[in-house]
Amino acid sequence: MNAIETNNLTKYFGAVAAVDRLNLTVREGELFALLGVNGAGKTTTIKLLSGLLRPTDGTARVLGYDLKSELPEIKQRIAVSPQETAVAPNLTVRENMELIADIYGGDRGRVLTMLEELGLKKVEICRAKTLSGGWQRRLSIAMALVSDPKLLFLDEPTLGLDVLARRELWKVIAGLKGKVTVILTTHYLEEAEALANRVGVMGGGSLKICGTPQELMEAAGTDRFEDAFIRLAGGEMP
């Protein structure tokens, strides 16, 4: 089964097509990077697939469920780590995790597991707002994982982080490979290249090309991922 299948998924804001007849397939278990410049439609795609926005047109199946008619089933099984850090500022790291665990009705046992797996144990009693940007992102991802989702959306997880924090977070994300299907959006080429099993290049709201980083470089006739991206996206650089 595919984790995601969209069929001409479209979202208009007024006259602007933020997502334009998108046909995207993400396989179960893979780490899929949605790569594109700012304004390409990545965030809107995630919002559509997580039920935050209603599509103007087209259909989608998420984890086998129909996006329009079976949204509650989908919501119980997915998790989103939004583009901006989304934590409750005055709650501690642990309380943030417990809140999400409770909302999904899952067991709190996973809170401890996730705290340990993401290296958050040592800051568990710190208020979220006192953490640095990198650690807040880490918490944000941990909160998304605590409900044991089948499908995880990470929207620009390393945006605005310094190089060290980014590399640290990469390790965390790479550690998710094989455990959960991950859709990661990014406009950092090296991020997509380093982490993803497959990459979809988005531009102007639709998918330009899709494949492993190797396949994309072959399709563009170059051995540098950056050149491949420029040729395939056909747009200016981020």
Q: Which residues bind Mg ion (CB under 5 A)?
A: 43
| Tokens (6 digits) for 94 | 């642990």
Q: Residue 37 is encoded by which pair of tokens?
A: 């410049």
β-pairing, 206-211 vs 198-203, is antiparallel
Does residue 51 belong to the site contacting another protein (CB under 8 A)? yes
Nearest-approach distance from CB 183 to ligand ADP, in angstroms: 13
Helices (H) and strands (E) in the chain, counts: 9, 11
Contact at 8 Å (CB) between 180 and 151? yes
Tell me the closest approach of the beta carbon of residue 131 to another protein, in angstroms. 14
Q: How far is the CB of 36 from Mg ion (least distance, A)?
A: 9
Q: Which does 38 bind (CB under 5 to 8 A by kind): another protein, Mg ion, ligand ADP, none?
A: ligand ADP
- Judged by the rule CB under 6 A, the positions of this chain that interact with ligand ADP are 13, 16, 18, 36, 38-44
Angle between helix 109-117 and helix 133-145 axes, rounded to 10 deg: 140
Our CA angle for 10, 13, 14, nearest 5°, is 120
Compose the 95-134 pattern: x for residues touching another protein by CB under 8 A, - for all others. x---xx-xxxx---------------------x-------
Rounded to whole angstroms, the Cα distance separating 43 from 129 reads 24
Report the residue number whose CB is nearest to Mg ion.
43
Size of the site for another protein (CB under 8 A): 33
Return residues touching another protein (CB under 8 A).
50-53, 72, 75-76, 78-91, 95, 99-100, 102-105, 127, 140, 143-144, 147
